[in-house]
Every structure is written in structure tokens, then in C-alpha cells.
A = this chain, B = another copy of it.
């Protein structure tokens, strides 16, 4: 089953450039692991913001929660998970 995930990151402006870079690098590493595991299928940057929209494929919402809460930036994010159903245009049929 697929899920549309929207994440807004809220890093305090006064966080040091160093801590920011460490966190961001760790986040990217974990992101690539989730890609390799086949959970994170697509990800886009929301322009102008530390925010992204992504597409997860997972057996259920519990697996999505485990993936998201494993992100190093988890304590700083506001996430929203939306369940997606298959659309007829991607199966066979009528709209």
C-alpha cells in the first residue's frame, strides 16, 4: 500500500551550522537506507521551505511510523501521512 507523506522540518535558526550539517548528513544517509529498503519510493522538495513530499510503500501505517520515527530529524519535524488507494487508471478500468 502507498502513503503520501508531507514533512516540514523546523530547525531553530540559532542551531549551529555544524550541528545542522551533522543532522542533515545523517538524515540523508537514513533516507538512502529507506530508499534501498523499498519503503521510500519518491521524494520531492517543497520549494522555498525545509519541507518535502514523499511517497512511501509499506505494508501498513505502523511500518510507515517506524520509518519516519527512525529519521534523525524526527524530533524537529511535523509530518502528515495520507493513505492512498489504487486509482482505476493504474489498474485497467473506468475513472
A4-B53, A60-B1, A94-B24 known; A80+B48 contact, CB < 8 A: yes
What DSSP secondary structure best describes chain A's contact surface? mixed
* Contact indicator per residue, chain A 70-95, by CB within 8 Å of chain B (1) or not (0): 00010110111111111111100111
Interchain CB contact under 8 A, A64 and B89: no
Chain B residues lying within 8 Å of A28, measured Cβ to Cβ, are 88-89, 93-95
Chain B residues lying within 8 Å of A86, measured Cβ to Cβ, are 44-45, 62
Chain B residues lying within 8 Å of A40, measured Cβ to Cβ, are 89
For the complex, is A68 an interface residue (Cβ under 8 Å from B)? yes
Interchain CB contact under 8 A, B85 and A42: no
Interchain CB contact under 8 A, A48 and B81: yes
